[in-house]
């Protein structure tokens, strides 16, 4: 009798324990699955607010006040002066690009950096005569002498009429020291008797004049021929005021 009672009890207990375990397993499995499904995706954030999320790329515009100022890299349509303003600094290359062909030419003749000749407008006027042959008493492109060359340049460059001969120009000019020489000043030489030759000082100990042997040319004051015959320098007062 007892056996008949025990066997059904054992069966009931076994069934009860199995039914209790199944829901627990199911719930556990569902919990794990939910955790996997609801796991948030990591968001990777890069510079300039570029976000990568779920295989997509999104960008956020950077506020204008945070953007670095840039200078156009293209030279097209931008002058040298404009590029210098944009960079806010002196650009030697830009300076060179802004000079004229005449200034480039005289940078070689005067043995100077070309940017040091920027704004030296006298060069345009003397260059009109460069290479003109020498002719005593001449006053034109067909031939010209030293004092007529000075007279022509002063008239075109400064609007001034100076005396005709080298001796008269020497007397007319205010005498200055060689250390005071500036472009446009006159330099005088004794190539014959007294003041017999004149030239226009440029820079770097160089002057331009109508040479008997070479015509209008640039020479060095320290060449032995001219150094031995150098008499002094003079400045035309009105021309001095115009250069300032």
Q: What's phi and psi for 68, nearest 5 deg?
A: -75, 145
pTM of the predicted protein model: 0.61
How high is the mean pLDDT of the chain?
Answer: 75
Catalytic residue, from 18, 65, 125, 197: name it.
197
pLDDT beyond 90 at 59: no
Average pLDDT over every residue of 16-21 = 47
Q: Which residues are within 8 A (CB) of 194 and not within 5 positions of it... i.e. 6 or more apart?
A: 167
Residue 229 clears pLDDT 50, i.e. is over it: yes
pLDDT value at residue 124? 95
Across the range 124-131, mean pLDDT stands at 97
Relative to beta strand 56-59, strand 143-144 is unpaired
Tell me if residue 31 falls in helix, strand or coil: helix
Which stretches of the chain are assigned E, i.e. beta strand? 44-45, 50-53, 56-59, 139-140, 143-144, 174-176, 186-189, 197-201, 206-211, 215-220, 230-235
| Residue 125 among the catalytic residues | no
- Top-confidence residue, 142 or 53: 142
Per-residue confidence (pLDDT) for residue 20, from 0 to 100: 45
Q: Which residue has the higher pLDDT, 73 or 138?
A: 138
Weakest-pLDDT range from 119-123, 149-153, 178-182, 196-200: 119-123
Mean pLDDT in residue range 152-180: 96
Is pLDDT of 107 > 50? yes
Residue pair 138/164 in contact by the 8 Å Cβ criterion: no
CATH topology of domain 121-243: endopeptidase fold (from Nostoc punctiforme) (3.90.1720)
Is 65 annotated in the active site?
no
146 is catalytic: yes
Mean pLDDT of 99-120: 91
* Catalytic position from the list 65, 125, 146, 170: 146
Question: Which stretch of 87-96, 132-141, 189-198, 201-210 has the lowest confidence by average pLDDT?
Answer: 87-96
Measure the CA–CA gap between 128 and 141, rounded to whole angstroms. Answer: 9
C-alpha–C-alpha distance, residues 231 and 197, integer Å: 10
Which residue ranges does the chain devote to CATH 3.90.1720.10? 121-243
What average pLDDT does the segment 209-229 reach? 97
For the residues 192-202, what does the mean pLDDT come to?
A: 95
Is the pLDDT assigned to residue 142 strictly greater than 70? yes
The whole-angstrom separation of Cα 24 and Cα 30 is 10
136 has a pLDDT exceeding 60: yes
Q: What is the CA radius of gyration of the chain?
A: 47
Three-state DSSP state, 214: coil
Distance CA 200, CA 181 (A): 10
Question: What percent of the chain has pLDDT above 90?
Answer: 52
pLDDT of residue 5: 56
């Amino acid at each position: 009798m007892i056996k008949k009672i025990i066997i059904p009890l054992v069966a009931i207990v076994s069934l009860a324990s199995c039914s209790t375990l199944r829901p627990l397993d199911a719930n556990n499995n569902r919990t794990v699955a939910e955790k996997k499904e609801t796991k948030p995706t990591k968001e990777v954030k890069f510079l300039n607010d570029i976000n990568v999320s779920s295989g997509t790329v999104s960008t956020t515009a950077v506020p204008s006040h945070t953007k670095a100022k840039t200078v156009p890299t293209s030279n097209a349509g931008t002058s040298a002066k404009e590029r210098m303003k944009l960079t806010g600094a002196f650009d030697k290359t830009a300076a060179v690009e802004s000079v004229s062909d005449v200034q480039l030419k005289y940078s070689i003749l005067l043995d100077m950096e070309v940017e040091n000749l920027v704004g030296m407008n006298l060069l345009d006027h003397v260059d009109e005569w460069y290479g003109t042959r020498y002719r005593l008493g001449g006053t034109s492109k067909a031939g010209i002498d030293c004092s007529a060359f000075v007279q022509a340049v002063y008239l075109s460059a400064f609007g001034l009429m100076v005396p005709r001969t080298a001796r008269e120009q020497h007397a007319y000019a205010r005498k200055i020291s060689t250390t005071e020489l500036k472009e446009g000043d006159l330099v005088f030489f004794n190539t014959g008797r007294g003041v017999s030759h004149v030239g226009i000082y440029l820079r770097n100990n160089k002057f331009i004049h109508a040479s008997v042997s070479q015509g209008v040319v640039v020479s060095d004051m320290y060449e032995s021929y001219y150094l031995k015959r150098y008499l002094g320098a003079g400045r035309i007062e009105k021309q001095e005021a115009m250069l300032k």
